Amino acid sequence: MIQKIRLIGDKVLRKKAEPISPDNPKTKQVVQDLLDTLAVNEEFALAAPQIGHSCRIFVINPIWIEDEDKRTPMVFINPELLEYEGEQFMLEGCLSIPEIYEKVKRAQIVKFRSQDLHGKWKNYTIRELFARAAQHENDHLDGILFVDRISPIRRKLLHGKLKKMASTTKDGVNVG
Ligand SMILES: [Zn+2]
């Protein structure tokens, strides 16, 4: 089912999410909700806390595959980022922080492992956009938002805007 996107100021976005067993019936439901919600939004990746579930799952639609018919959203359960290499510096946005785009430094190449819905662990070496998405989404599982990773000057400039955004969110709390 399509779920409401949680916005900055919502406490669930600041919690460290718990691992979840792929056998747990909740896992299937959260994955389906993530895929349904991703399909109607313009971003290409989504993490469970963004739809209100504090568990370690995210999904990524591989937009770097040119043929849209060949894109199947990928599901990552209990991902563990293991190694980082190089750097990339690009504009990022987030469905939970509407209309804000800022440059964020990320690793260029990431090695990580993750479980699928059958509980099988798989190893990945990913780069560029895929690596950036995995780092952004994995941050969501740790309660980190991309605005935490921008330069202190930019963060200071955005502070008032983010605070205002958070104060209009239901149970909005501090940002900054
Ligand atoms: Zn995000």
65 within domain boundaries: yes
| In-domain check, residue 78 | yes
Q: How far is the CA of 146 from the centre of ligand 1 (A)?
A: 7
* 47 alpha carbon – ligand 1 mean position (Å): 7
- For this structure, is 85 an active site residue? no
In this structure, is residue 106 part of a structural domain? Answer: yes
Number of domains in the chain: 1
Q: Which helix (H) or strand (E) holds 164?
A: helix 152-167
Q: Measured in angstroms, how far is the CA atom of residue 145 from the centroid of ligand 1?
A: 7
In tens, the pLDDT along 46-101 reads 999 999 999 999 999 999 899 988 999 999 999 999 999 999 999 999 999 999 99
**CB burial of residue 144 (10 Å; 0-12, 13-18, 19+):** middle
Q: Does 176 reside within a domain?
A: no
CATH of the domain at 106: 3.90.45.10
Decide if 76 contacts 47 (C-beta within 8 A).
Answer: no
Q: Which of 43, 92, 102, 137 is catalytic?
A: 137
Ligand 1 center–CA 77 separation, angstroms: 17
User: Which pTM value belongs to this model?
Assistant: 0.93
**Full domain range(s) for residue 83:** 11-167
**Structural domain includes residue 2:** no
